Amino acid sequence: MSRNLADPLVSQPAPEKAAEAPPIPAAPPPPGRSIVLVGMPGAGKSAVGRRLAARLGLPFLDADTEIENAAGLTVAEIFARYGEAHFRDGERRVIARIAAGPPVVLATGGGAYVDPRTRRALREAGAVTLWIRADIPVLKRRIAGRSNRPLFIGRDPEEVLRGLMAARYPFYAEADLAIDCGEDTPEVTTVRAERAITGWQRPARLPVALSTNPYEVVVGSGLLARAGGLLSPHLPTRRVAVVSDAIVHALHGATLRAGLEEGGFDIRAEVTVPPGEGSKRMEMLEEVLEQVLAAGADRGTTIIALGGGVVGDLAGFAAAVALRGLPFVQIPTTLLAQVDSSVGGKTGVNLRAGKNLAGAFHQPRIVLADTGALGTLPARELRAGWGEVAKHGLLQGPLWEWCEACGPAAMAGDPEALRHAVLESCRLKAGVVVEDEFETAKDGGRALLNLGHTFAHALEAECGYDGTLLHGEAVAVGLGLAAALSARLGHCAQEWPGRVMEHLAAVGLPARISDLPRVFSAEALIGRMRKDKKVRDGAMRFVLLRGAGQAFTTADVPPEAVEALLRDEGAA
């Protein structure tokens, strides 16, 4: 007697024994995670799945077999009797139920992963999804003579396969991992799958839980190559325009393009700007807007910022004003952008009067912080990013002690240290942004993120944004000055200025004005600070410290104390 497929019973038989020699012991996957294989008919999901399950010591299940057992009908009979929609609904229920249970290796039907509810159920269950790819000649040969595939009955197999690839590949791209099997035997593909799974680390996802337009910061390695699958659930369409600088585009543009195209994205434009702070100006904003709109961007087109803080600020401002607002994605490739500017929605350009004086709050739909991209940074750029990490450490408290202990290792390129720095910096910033999205708090709030920045922005402006002083380097000097000013005014212990400057010097950053390669006028710097956007009623405002984790904002700072500090620290 057949059962109703809408409420299938799911059995979990013992794992099938592999046909070859006894399996080599392998490291099991993380506890509690099922391995779910997705891909086209004929990709070898069942053959690889059985072998993989044996190697990992997990039960193996085939979704089609489970559906047939539950319904008392073959897949072909279900299609013929009830139609594809009924089959897909039952398939989704079966897969969701299996994924919510004990860990297994599960081979799914070719169309299963196309259903957004199935993909969501697998994500929520924490399953690891693996896409097995094969080209048309391999698939065509493997499905030849199989009569249990309803989509191929009475039709040209190659034509069907091409159509299925076009329709399904953008969804397969959302899988956690992908491997190519080609002409390989199932045994070889199984070994490749095992290595991919056991060597994989799930990207961290940090929520920026704003009351309106919440989004995630995704932190991990290899995200550029998976951009299409990672972005598609968060965007209104698969139409995008990419804005980058010439250096970053040469390094990472092809990887991003391939990742987007694999996810079925239509890249309307790839706009590049000259690298450096000089591109954050109104003339460049206009040029970006002209190119994006000339390429046919509409209100469903997302602008992607690929690069550092300059590109993120410029592209974000373009997204905020183009057609009165376009969706926006941040893909930061520098440490400074990953830990700071990509999160929070601040966008803008510089004016002659000062930094970031024209801009808008425009939150991204998602931030992809690919820590693998940090390996291409020049050493000076990597160090400059640490200026913001150190700032976050001083704001958070325990993170500062970690910075002192692990900063040198991070600056030597240690991937785990860099990942931790990005993750914890984003965690801190996300929490602050949620509490004070538009920087309207009278005291504290988002303004605390400007620790050291009143000094830093003045130094940058005096340099004319010509590249002789990077933003993170200016922030580092600003942190030392903020700590020194705090101590002079009696807010913190006298040890703090030395402690902050010692750490900055240990990671290769300038710690005081006298460390910089040019002379600054104290009078000119104070003039710049009086034009800072944080000035209220003519009074300069500073973020000062009582200790790590104890920052506060104040306007109660005598100008003569600031001038004396600047002169003592090396200003003329």
User: Which pLDDT tens digit goes with each residue over 74-93?
Assistant: 988 998 899 989 999 999 99
Residue corresponding to tokens 């922030």:
475
- So what's the pLDDT on residue 488? 98
The SS3 assignment for 203 reads: coil
Q: Is 392 annotated as a binding residue?
A: no
- CA 511, 516, 520, 524 dihedral sign is negative
Q: Is 46 annotated as a binding residue?
A: yes
Q: Is 310 annotated as a binding residue?
A: yes
User: Cα–Cα distance between 17 and 166 in angstroms, integer?
Assistant: 35
Q: Is 88 annotated as a binding residue?
A: yes
Q: Is 407 annotated as a binding residue?
A: no
Q: Is 127 annotated as a binding residue?
A: no
* Confidence class for position 532, pLDDT limits 50, 70, 90: confident
Helices (H), 263-371: 282-294, 309-321, 335-336
Range with the lowest mean pLDDT among 50-59, 339-348, 477-486, 529-538?
529-538
Q: Is 208 annotated as a binding residue?
A: no
**10 Å Cβ neighbour count for 376?**
14
Q: Is 168 annotated as a binding residue?
A: yes
Contacts of 297 (CB under 8 A, 6+ apart): 239, 241, 268, 269, 303, 322, 323, 326
Q: Is 64 annotated as a binding residue?
A: yes
Q: Mean pLDDT across the stretch 473-482? A: 98
Q: Is 313 annotated as a binding residue?
A: yes
Instruction: Calculate what percentage of the chain has a pLDDT beyond 70.
Output: 94
**10 Å Cβ neighbour count for 156?**
10
**Tens digits of per-residue pLDDT, 41-73?**
999 999 999 999 999 999 999 999 999 999 999
Contact 445, 439 (CB under 8 A): yes
Q: Is 388 annotated as a binding residue?
A: yes
- So what's the pLDDT on residue 147? 53
Pair of tokens at residue 80: 């013929």
- So what's the pLDDT on residue 19? 36
27: pLDDT strictly greater than 80: no
Contact 280, 313 (CB under 8 A): yes
**Tens digits of per-residue pLDDT, 419-454?**
999 999 999 999 999 999 999 998 889 999 999 999
6: pLDDT strictly greater than 70: no
Q: Is 549 annotated as a binding residue?
A: no
- So what's the pLDDT on residue 149? 67
Rg (CA), the chain: 28
Contacts of 455 (CB under 8 A, 6+ apart): 474, 477, 478, 481, 482, 525, 529
Instruction: Calculate what percentage of the chain has a pLDDT beyond 90.
Output: 85
Pair of tokens at residue 244: 């980058």
Better-predicted residue by pLDDT, 116 or 199: 116
* Confidence class for position 411, pLDDT limits 50, 70, 90: very high
- So what's the pLDDT on residue 2? 37
User: H or E stretch including 97?
Assistant: helix 84-99
* Confidence class for position 26, pLDDT limits 50, 70, 90: very low
Q: Is 554 annotated as a binding residue?
A: no
Q: Is 453 annotated as a binding residue?
A: yes
Q: Is 109 annotated as a binding residue?
A: no
Q: Is 346 annotated as a binding residue?
A: yes
Global pTM reads 0.89
Q: Is 70 annotated as a binding residue?
A: no
**What b/e sequence results for 108-122 when a residue is b if at least 16 CB atoms lie within 10 Å of its CB, and e otherwise?**
bbbbbbbbeebbebb
